[in-house]
Amino acid sequence: MSTPGALSRQSGSETVEFSVKGPVAVSLDEDEATSPGCSVLDLQFSTPSEVGELVFRNYYTAWLTVLARFDSANSLAQTQGHRSTSHNAGTEHGKLFVPTSKGNTGSMKLAEQVGGWVVAVPRRVLMPSPHLENGSHDFISISATESQIEWKNLLTLRLVLRQPSPIWRTFHVEELNVYHNLPRRVPRPLQHSHRIADLVQCQVPVLI
């Protein structure tokens, strides 16, 4: 479900309807007594959707990763005919090729996948220092232009929330909104990471 008015926006912004599953706390491949906190939250769309912006208020989440699941049939149909020099669009030999969010129309890339999910935004820092208050209650805008792939024909966006500090036992995001169009503000740049394995270490369950 979407919640009105998370950020001051231009009038006429078209919202995208969604339902929320989670957050669900998950464990890491580490000693539970010392491992950082991790939870997942799914935003599920009733029909394949194009998304321009995700907006929410933070509550002590240090950083998050955005994963995506697509309507592969529609994505493949739209990308037929757009071929790279060595690969077809869509799925080939078990590897997923998706439209990029940058470059020319029809540009394709081999998507990084984590348990069947495509990595859209590898690491978005919300709190500069997990142990301090800065950023803990900020309103956050994540634009589709920050994503490594296009946010089209989306079925689900999964937010993997991380808080390594033992000081904050409760962390989540709230006042979620999803907008069809891109924001008219200048979005924050994507904060790059080192390795996908370092970003999404959670044993993420299937939310039912």
pLDDT in tens, 3-36: 444 444 555 679 999 999 999 998 755 545 445 6
Report if residue 102 sits inside a domain: no
Q: Assess contact for 145 and 187: CB atoms under 8 A.
A: yes
Report if residue 97 sits inside a domain: no
pLDDT band with cut points at 50, 70 and 90 for residue 204: low
Report if residue 207 sits inside a domain: no
Report if residue 81 sits inside a domain: no
Whether pLDDT at 128 is above 70: yes
- What residues make up the domain containing 46? 19-74+121-199
Report if residue 178 sits inside a domain: yes
| Structural domain total, the chain | 1
* DSSP-assigned letter for residue 15: B
d(CA 208, CA 196): 25
Report if residue 47 sits inside a domain: yes
Report if residue 116 sits inside a domain: no
Between the ranges 24-28, 87-91, 200-204, where is the mean pLDDT highest? 24-28
Which residue has 């007594």 as its token pair?
33
pLDDT in tens, 153-168: 999 999 999 999 999 9
d(CA 160, CA 172): 10
